[in-house]
């Protein structure tokens, strides 16, 4: 089920890249980093703020909602700061959109495994789940979007 959701998310993000431009995707990637830091520092106080404590799923949804609110605010700030809107056409534009979308999905998945308390939300194989849980996987998935941004902005 979640594998289909990941593929659908990838298709939506590629479409969003073509519709809104690379600047929006740049802002999405950049917004995840301060959001993760802010949310991680806010986590000890969440038990006092969150009302739904009856099940682990409700707790996860409550924390995900707080994460999304922080993300929306940080995204608005980063969107105002990034002014680049150029997008390339053809095969190069599709490759740009695909790389940006995959890097955002990797970033979301690693934040889900390391920042938000959900480990079984994706139906992944044990090897892939272990990769995302590991320190190396966390490092790779956090650095991959930065490398993609650096290579794309260098070509401007």
Query: How many domains are contained in the chain?
Result: 1
55: alpha, beta or left? (left if phi > 0; alpha if psi -120 to 50): beta
Sign of CA dihedral 54, 56, 57, 62: positive
Per the CB < 8 A criterion, the answer to whether 32 and 4 are in contact is no
Tokens of 85: 């809107």
pTM for this predicted structure? 0.60
pLDDT at position 26 is 81
pLDDT at position 110 is 82
Cα–Cα dist 29/148, whole Å: 10
pLDDT band, very low/low/confident/very high, at 156 (cuts 50, 70, 90): very low
pLDDT at position 135 is 80
Cα–Cα dist 29/9, whole Å: 15
pLDDT in tens, 74-85: 888 777 666 555
Identify the residue whose tokens are 């959900």.
118
User: Which structural domain range is residue 52 located in?
Assistant: 2-154
pLDDT in tens, 34-59: 888 788 777 777 776 666 566 777 77
Cα–Cα dist 79/73, whole Å: 10
- Of 8-17, 63-72, 83-92, where does mean pLDDT reach its minimum? 83-92
pLDDT at position 121 is 67
Per the CB < 8 A criterion, the answer to whether 49 and 63 are in contact is no
Cα–Cα dist 2/94, whole Å: 24
Give the number of other CB atoms < 10 A from CB of residue 22: 23
pLDDT in tens, 98-148: 888 888 888 888 887 877 766 566 777 788 888 888 888 888 888 888 788
Identify the residue whose tokens are 């997008």.
87
Cα–Cα dist 132/112, whole Å: 9
How wide is the angle at C-alpha 99 spanned by C-alphas 65 and 113, nearest 5°? Answer: 35
């Amino acid at each position: 089920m979640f594998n289909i959701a990941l593929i659908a998310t990838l298709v939506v993000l590629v479409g969003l890249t073509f519709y809104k431009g690379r600047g929006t995707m740049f802002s999405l990637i950049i917004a995840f980093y301060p959001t993760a830091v802010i949310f991680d520092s806010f986590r000890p106080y969440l038990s006092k703020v969150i009302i739904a404590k009856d099940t682990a799923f409700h707790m996860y949804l409550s924390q995900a909602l707080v994460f999304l609110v922080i993300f929306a605010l940080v995204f608005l700030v980063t969107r105002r700061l990034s002014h680049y809107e150029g997008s390339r056409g053809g095969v190069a534009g599709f490759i740009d959109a695909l790389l940006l979308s995959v890097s955002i999905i990797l970033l979301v998945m690693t934040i889900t495994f390391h920042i938000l308390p959900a480990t079984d939300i994706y139906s992944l194989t044990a090897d892939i789940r272990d990769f995302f849980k590991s320190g190396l996987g966390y490092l790779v998935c956090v650095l991959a979007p930065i490398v993609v941004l650096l290579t794309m902005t260098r070509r401007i």
